[in-house]
Amino acid sequence: MAGDRLATFMFYLSNIELGGGTAFPALGVVARPIPGSALFWFNLNPDGSIEARTVHGGCPVLYGNKW
């Protein structure tokens, strides 16, 4: 599958006062952005199919900056 990422490693660099988490709806998890923390997940299964459990989205920043 051209263009698909095998995995993602995301660092949180800034202090977000409200919002800005990373949501994984299928897992019922929202990772809070804490400066200096990181997330790692696989986007694809070993056979190259999409790992549906790790489909994610960024929550809006309600107060502060996300970078």
Task: Please write the tens of the pLDDT for every residue from 24-48.
Answer: 999 999 999 999 999 999 999 999 8
Give the pLDDT of residue 3: 54
Q: Looking at 3-7, 9-13, 27-31, 59-63, which range is the least confident one? A: 3-7
Q: How many angstroms separate the CA atoms of 58 and 6, rounded?
A: 19
- pTM assigned to the model: 0.79
List Cα–Cα distances, 47 to 6, 9, 41, 55, 60, in angstroms. 11, 20, 16, 17, 33
pLDDT at 58 over 60: yes
Per the CB < 8 A criterion, the answer to whether 10 and 38 are in contact is yes
